[in-house]
Structure 1
Amino acid sequence: MTSQNPPGGYAQEFPSGVRVITGASTSVPAFLGYTKACAHDDPDSTPKAFTDAERVVPQKIGSWREFAARYSIAGIARELADATDPATIHARQRCLPLAEAVYGFFANGGGACYVVGFTSPQNAVSPEVLNGDADARTGLAALETVPEVTMVAVPSLWDMTADASFEKEPPAPDHAAGAARMAEVVKHCTEQRNRLAILDPPPGLMSRGSVMN
């Protein structure tokens, strides 16, 4: 056999000591928003849709497909298509911002997230209800026991400022009420010291800043 070393030569390899840095996700969002079980849910589906009682506590979701099944997205879409009265239409439409936010998270490479629901989309969510109850594991307070959460988003926050309307147009958001709800989200993130808040400005708000080339 021919030696790979030259005559009289000896080679020995030593580790360089350089450690390879690999990526690790540090972004685990929690989404809070309207979601409701519906009559179209298939009891034999896998995974099964969450009940209203299961929706109000933090649930860890690993994919868009799991979210869509667990939170009745197809059923809500059918109910919305069949609805004729404005209040029902508005209520079902309020479930869509949460779904759109979760979809966007997974579509952009997100790994896992938590969802905390409010199951009466026809009603406003007061700052107290948004803040929740730690013992009942509802609202923002429920996330105090989920240390891996690093971001908190409430995509339906401005819908939460008013009850669904029986008029054709959806109700206008209450800016003062929205500010109170935003304050609860910021307070939660500040007290937990390990997460940031993602908040939307009021709908239709036009920027007054100048545009620089």
Structure 2
Amino acid sequence: MPTYTAPGVYVEEVPSSQKSLSAAATAIAAFVGFTEVAPTDDPSDPEGTKPRLVTSWTQFEELYGGFVNGYMLPLSVYGYFQNGGSIAYIVRIPNTEPSNEPSTVALPAADRALGTPVTIESIDPGSPISVVIRSAESDEEGPSPFDLDVLLNGTQVESFDNLTLSPGDRNIATVVNATSTKVKVKLDLKDDVDLANMIEVMKPGTYPLVAPAPLPVPVTGKKFTGSETARTGINGLSIADEVTMVIVPDLVTAATRPDGTIDLAMWKAVQTALIGHCELQGNRMAVLDAPPGMSVQQIKEWRSDVAMYDSAFAALYYPWIKVENPAGTNGQSEVFVPPSGHVAGVWARTDDTRGVWKAPANDTIRGCLDIERPITKNEQSLLNPIGINCIRPFGTRGIRIWGARTLSSDSDWRYVNVRRLFNMVETTILDGTQWAVFEPNDVGLWEGVTRTLNAFLGGLWQDGALFGASPEEAFYVKCDAETNPPASIDEGRLVVEVGIAPVKPAEFVIFRISQQKQVAS
């Protein structure tokens, strides 16, 4: 309490014992896989493996490049934003290494008959070098000499004047190769070339040296799993607290053997690591893809006898979907992709339009042209009970996600929306009640926490997130002397019991219709 020693008027600010809670974000995805290039925005991360936030496809292209033949992550990220996603983290898995071959460029001649007589090679592989050809002034008759500048990262580091293609002291290969520490010159002139009758020999301009394509390297399941300490792979997402969905679309790229078959052992190992990460974090779900090319019987047997996942923090989708191939590679205008990225976008769209408590199902997938194989109602009756969410075509109603189950055997956590609702509520309470730490553990604190949680949960009930005709039926908050006995207070604990009744989806809509007999009046 303040001490007043002089007469006057005083104003005191009294902190409120009730705080407001804002619902935690629910639609932030994380993608783990392969990209065209590594981002260069962080000098301390030259391989670009640490998680980076992107909020649009344009921003993704600026950091990671565009579509690449065989890479699923760019297609999945594109589908995520296309279907309503707005925030995503990208975790790049390195899958190539430099070839250690020099960068090269062929310099064109001014006369097309000469073609490209000069080839420039870098001495150090991968050096960011460009060369500039400039016309040089000369009073002598015959071919005009030219100047050559060597640029490293855009800065001139070497310059050679009055060069020619003709034999002699100023021949470009003779001069440059004798003194340059950055480049070498190879000269390729045809025997019947008449340089004496040419005025301008080389075409002026700036020509960057092009590095050879990097060499692919095998990617193991361990690389996908990554390291929390090194901030790589799936485990590197531990620093991204707000992530709520994790997708690994390039699992198929790494797990495909040279003969085209899928390494199902690797498939299971990576997905198991992904599920374990989500369970450990407790605030996110794994959006899993079924292996490609499987029939209904095969996916049923794989799910039941091989994968055997049992987790409320994972959802599995089948089959793969066909989308437009933006890269247009291999002459294919369409390509099959794992559905997880597009499904995550639908999750985000549902959260935005309806709320996280609405099951992300019975909604169309934007950009989906077809599915890998059609699923009948009877076939889905075999897959739905074991937690395989099917994607099915419905004629004029489009291609829809027709399942909303997790991979949990516990009926309390059977539905995706229930698990995600609890994730949101738990995260909101965790983040929004930090003010209570080190406060006096007395009745005033208990009542303040109770009012705060009642206001938040009451708002959820009014929005339709909780089941019940009244707030008392929908939730309860208990924080009193019963939950906080003296022994618990002495240990520095504040114990609050919270119970909520989540709404569950009407998965089976049944109309009972009977024939009413007409009775004479």
TM-score (norm 2): 0.28
2:269 paired residue number: 180
| 8 A contact 1:59–1:114 mirrored in 2 | yes
Residue 195 in 1 paired to residue 360 in 2?
A: no
Deviation at 1:207, TM superposition (A): 1.5
Residues 131-170 of structure 1 show CA distances to partners (whole Å, capped at 9, x for unaligned) of 111221101121111110001000111222256x4xxxx6
What amino acid does structure 2 have at the position aligned with 1:63? S
Deviation at 1:50, TM superposition (A): 5.6
What amino acid does structure 2 have at the position aligned with 1:59? R
What is the aligned residue count? 160
Give the distance between the partners of 2:24 and 2:239, measured in 1 at CA: 22
Give the distance between the partners of 1:65 and 1:28, measured in 2 at CA: 17
Which one of the candidate residues 72, 93, 115 is aligned to 1:118? 93
Distance 1:158 1:50, change over 3 A: farther
Q: How does 1:152-171 map to 2 (within 5 A)?
A: 152-162=246-256, 165=258, 171=260
Give the distance between the partners of 1:107 and 1:186, measured in 2 at CA: 26
Give the distance between the partners of 1:115 and 1:137, measured in 2 at CA: 12
Q: Aligned Cα RMSD in Å?
A: 2.7
List runs of 5+ in structure 2 lacking aligned partners.
1-21, 97-215, 301-374, 379-521
Deviation at 1:129, TM superposition (A): 1.5
Which one of the candidate residues 67, 73, 83 is aligned to 1:98? 73
Distance 1:23 1:146, change over 3 A: closer
**3-state SS of paired residue (2:289):** coil
| 8 A contact 1:32–1:117 mirrored in 2 | yes
What amino acid does structure 2 have at the position aligned with 1:28? I
Distance 1:108 1:49, change over 3 A: farther
Distance 1:94 1:119, change over 3 A: farther
| 8 A contact 1:49–1:72 mirrored in 2 | no
Residue 109 in 1 paired to residue 102 in 2?
A: no
Give the distance between the partners of 1:174 and 1:120, measured in 2 at CA: 17
Give the distance between the partners of 1:195 and 1:182, measured in 2 at CA: 14
**3-state SS of paired residue (2:60):** helix
Answer with 1 or 2: which has the greater Rg.
2
- Structure possessing the higher relative contact order (Cα contacts under 8 Å, 6 or more residues apart): 1
Give the distance between the partners of 2:218 and 2:289, measured in 1 at CA: 17
2:487 paired residue number: none
| 8 A contact 1:189–1:197 mirrored in 2 | yes
| 8 A contact 1:28–1:150 mirrored in 2 | yes
**3-state SS of paired residue (2:73):** helix
Give the distance between the partners of 2:25 and 2:277, measured in 1 at CA: 22
List runs of 5+ in structure 1 lacking aligned partners.
1-21, 39-47, 78-91
Give the distance between the partners of 2:241 and 2:33, measured in 1 at CA: 20
**3-state SS of paired residue (1:55):** coil
Query: Which structure shows the bigger proportion of residues in strand conformation?
Result: 2
Give the distance between the partners of 1:173 and 1:149, measured in 2 at CA: 29
| 8 A contact 1:33–1:155 mirrored in 2 | yes
| 8 A contact 1:124–1:162 mirrored in 2 | no
What amino acid does structure 1 have at the position aligned with 2:88? C
TM-score (norm 1): 0.66
What amino acid does structure 2 have at the position aligned with 1:35? T
Residues 150-195 of structure 1 show CA distances to partners (whole Å, capped at 9, x for unaligned) of 01000111222256x4xxxx63211112111111111111111111
Residue 66 in 1 paired to residue 66 in 2?
A: no
Q: Percent identity?
A: 33
What amino acid does structure 1 have at the position aligned with 2:234? L
Distance 1:49 1:108, change over 3 A: farther
Give the distance between the partners of 2:85 and 2:24, measured in 1 at CA: 12
Give the distance between the partners of 2:264 and 2:377, measured in 1 at CA: 29
| 8 A contact 2:47–2:94 mirrored in 1 | no
1:18 paired residue number: none
Give the distance between the partners of 1:24 and 1:108, measured in 2 at CA: 21
Residues 100-126 of structure 1 show CA distances to partners (whole Å, capped at 9, x for unaligned) of 111111112212100001121533332
1:13 paired residue number: none
Give the distance between the partners of 2:296 and 2:59, measured in 1 at CA: 37
1:136 paired residue number: 230
What amino acid does structure 1 have at the position aligned with 2:31? F
**3-state SS of paired residue (1:37):** coil
**3-state SS of paired residue (1:179):** helix
